[in-house]
Chains A and B, each alone.
Chain A
């Protein structure tokens, strides 16, 4: 599996740190941001293979980020949410998210989602 460049956007520091630790252990390079604005800025200025995005952010909701980055240089966005309703999942997918990870999730669940995307990517390459 090729190492990916991953961005985690969540205002919960613990979740950013946790994801960062686990994904770094897997060999990926991980950055974190804690607001929607910072997230958008990072995405527009860099090329990420994967963005893990929380829906509820302090400045704007994550859907705004999805709308902004849709079709831009970021390849995949996975939405994480503590409000895992079918409606939220459907909206995320419509806006271009590739997967939906309901909070709370275990390490295994996070790893499975990321590996799944890495695999898709390797087919594409």
Chain B
């Protein structure tokens, strides 16, 4: 390619590349490309049709120079035509509209003033993503350079599409996470408000039942009943106190800690439980951990809650592994607690941090949500997953940057 032709293609190519890199909006990019493309190769017009992955249909995404009536008509390209095109990975010239299986509305195309069509594939990796279709008013010869130019431009658009899709996926993931976090904290606040209201009627129940119990003969049936009422009301009180702890009212009182100290303390608290339930504990604590600013009591509560959770999952004995470590890229100190129990059912794994979600008949469903609230208040997070070889794995991440500031 030489002379003015080369200049034309080169300039158009450069322009399009710069748009690919500067525009996050794919639709805008495609609109510019169909317009530029038509201009540079002297076409009547051009369109993009992209494959909608969900419906498996080709949808019109951008058009230039082609009448609305014709566009509305089609072409409803069939899926095979696209995949074939992508497999060939080069431009296909259709200069006999009436005898090509790639053209469904030859007559209408003719009426629109179209005599020749070039199809260019859009691929991401090896996947067909769509088609760039360029319409010409007359049949003519196309140089290899021209065809290569069309393919190169289509490749650039594919790149932009794939980049946009990655961004979209990330955004979606982030939004889901944000939504989940929001939901949890508003649930917590709501629950705390209700808890507060419930304490008043409970005060009446507890005051009168304990007063009556004192006036009733010990060992009598009446006394037995009253004792049950008292016991159950005190149980309610405990649940509500946990709920209030979960609400944002209590701010952590932070002191510098090496997280291993807190882990060791939690293990000591749980020692008896481990013995009773025949649980073997394997610990692997990192030695070079930085100080973190945390509320020691609150974090201890988190680890104890997670350990209780593991012990309960291991009915009849098993193994718990607890490890600590650091992630300097993200400036985090991490503690991982895993068991070799049955793991968490897939449909429950998203819910386990929600208040009142419990699979145990005796659980309040607050242990993990309280833990979640505490870790969040430390600027960290708790992640949960099922291990590759079964069992559940909880990972607590606490940022350590603040300690040095």
A residues near B (Cβ < 8 Å) are 12, 14-15, 18-19, 21-22, 56, 80, 82-87, 102-108, 110
B249 and A104 contact, CB distance less than 8 A: no
Task: Say yes or no: A104-B250 contact (C-beta < 8 A), given A82-B196, A82-B200.
Answer: no
* The residue from A56, A86, A87, A110 contacting B207, defined by CB atoms under 8 A apart: A110
B244 and A83 contact, CB distance less than 8 A: yes
The answer, yes or no, to whether B206 is at the interface (CB within 8 Å) is yes
The answer, yes or no, to whether B166 is at the interface (CB within 8 Å) is no
B249 and A103 contact, CB distance less than 8 A: no
* The residue from B197, B203, B211 contacting A104, defined by CB atoms under 8 A apart: B203
* CA of A110 to CA of B206, assembled, Å: 11
Question: What does the 1/0 interface line of B183-215 toward A look like (CB < 8 Å)?
Answer: 000000000000011111111111110110010
The 5 closest A-B pairs by CB, nearest first: A82-B199, A14-B204, A104-B203, A18-B207, A104-B202
Chain B residues with CB under 8 Å of A104's CB are 199-200, 202-207, 233, 236-237
* The residue from B202, B208, B210, B214 contacting A103, defined by CB atoms under 8 A apart: B202
Task: Say yes or no: A107-B214 contact (C-beta < 8 A), given A15-B207, A18-B208, A85-B250.
Answer: yes
Number of A-B contacts (CB under 8 A): 73
A106 and B200 contact, CB distance less than 8 A: no
Could you pull out 17 A-B pairs where Cβ atoms are within 8 angstroms?
Answer: A14-B208, A15-B203, A15-B207, A18-B203, A18-B204, A18-B208, A82-B197, A82-B199, A83-B199, A85-B244, A103-B199, A103-B200, A104-B199, A104-B202, A105-B206, A106-B234, A108-B210
Chain B residues with CB under 8 Å of A82's CB are 196-200, 203
Query: Chain A residue with minimal CB distance to B234?
Result: A106
* CA of A12 to CA of B234, assembled, Å: 19
* A101 CB, min distance to chain B CBs, angstroms: 9
Chain A residues with CB under 8 Å of B197's CB are 82
* CA of A102 to CA of B203, assembled, Å: 9
* CA of A21 to CA of B204, assembled, Å: 12
Query: Chain A residue with minimal CB distance to B237?
Result: A104
B residues near A (Cβ < 8 Å) are 196-208, 210-211, 214, 230, 233-234, 236-237, 241, 244, 249-250
A107 and B200 contact, CB distance less than 8 A: no
B196 and A83 contact, CB distance less than 8 A: yes
* CA of A107 to CA of B206, assembled, Å: 8
Name, among B210, B234, B241, the residue most crowded by chain A CB atoms within 10 Å (CB to CB): B210
Task: Say yes or no: A107-B211 contact (C-beta < 8 A), given A83-B196, A84-B241, A85-B249.
Answer: yes
Query: Chain B residue with minimal CB distance to A85?
Result: B249
B207 and A22 contact, CB distance less than 8 A: yes
* CA of A14 to CA of B204, assembled, Å: 6
* The residue from A22, A85, A87, A105 contacting B203, defined by CB atoms under 8 A apart: A105
* CA of A106 to CA of B230, assembled, Å: 8
Task: Say yes or no: A22-B199 contact (C-beta < 8 A), given A85-B250, A86-B250.
Answer: no
* CA of A1 to CA of B90, assembled, Å: 102
* The residue from A19, A80, A84, A107 contacting B210, defined by CB atoms under 8 A apart: A107
* CA of A87 to CA of B210, assembled, Å: 28
Query: Chain B residue with minimal CB distance to A86?
Result: B250
* CA of A18 to CA of B202, assembled, Å: 12
Q: Could you list 7 further interchain pairs (A-B, Cβ under 8 angstroms) beyond the known A102-B199, A104-B200, A107-B214? A: A12-B203, A18-B204, A19-B207, A82-B196, A85-B244, A85-B250, A104-B233
* B192 CB, min distance to chain A CBs, angstroms: 9
Query: Chain A residue with minimal CB distance to B251?
Result: A87
Chain A residues with CB under 8 Å of B208's CB are 14, 18
* A58 CB, min distance to chain B CBs, angstroms: 12
B203 and A103 contact, CB distance less than 8 A: yes
Name, among B205, B207, B230, B244, the residue most crowded by chain A CB atoms within 10 Å (CB to CB): B207
* A125 CB, min distance to chain B CBs, angstroms: 28
* B54 CB, min distance to chain A CBs, angstroms: 49
Name, among A22, A80, A87, A106, the residue most crowded by chain B CB atoms within 10 Å (CB to CB): A106
Chain A residues with CB under 8 Å of B214's CB are 107
B211 and A18 contact, CB distance less than 8 A: yes
Chain B residues with CB under 8 Å of A56's CB are 196
* CA of A105 to CA of B241, assembled, Å: 13
* A53 CB, min distance to chain B CBs, angstroms: 14
Query: Chain B residue with minimal CB distance to A22?
Result: B211
Chain A residues with CB under 8 Å of B201's CB are 12, 14
* The residue from A12, A85, A86 contacting B204, defined by CB atoms under 8 A apart: A12
